[in-house]
Amino acid sequence: MEPQPVTEDPAGPADGVTNRLEPYVAWLATQVGDEETRRRYREVAEAFLRFSAADRGAPGTRGRRFVVAHRDRAAPETTRAAMDRLVEYDAVVRCTLPFDA
């Protein structure tokens, strides 16, 4: 499973990333005790969200393409671990969203 990409935001793509990233960062602070790891994960998450907002390739391979494209900025293992945390956060959000009957 891959993290959910940023959806279109009427205020612009940068604001869509910021709006998506802020609650993730707050959640991440409750999950990861090491500040350096949290910073790396946030940087990877932000880079992925910006990548996904601009990416026009197949959604099913977006995460793999991002890991390859991002390899000069972080080790692939770090990038995958950070993306796993973003997927985990997305799952928590989906479980807590209001149910429309």
Structure-token pair, residue 99: 């149910």
Say how far apart CA 50 and CA 16 lie, in whole Å: 9
Give the residue-averaged pLDDT of 2-23: 66
- Number of helices (H), then strands (E), belonging to the chain: the values are 4, 0
Give CA angle at 6 (28, 32), nearest 5°.
10
pLDDT of residue 14: 53
pLDDT of residue 46: 94
pTM for the full predicted model: 0.77
Give the residue-averaged pLDDT of 46-58: 90
Nearest to 78 by CA among 49, 41, 38: 41
**CA-based torsion, 65, 70, 71, 72: positive or negative:** positive
pLDDT of residue 96: 83
Residue 20: pLDDT over 50: yes
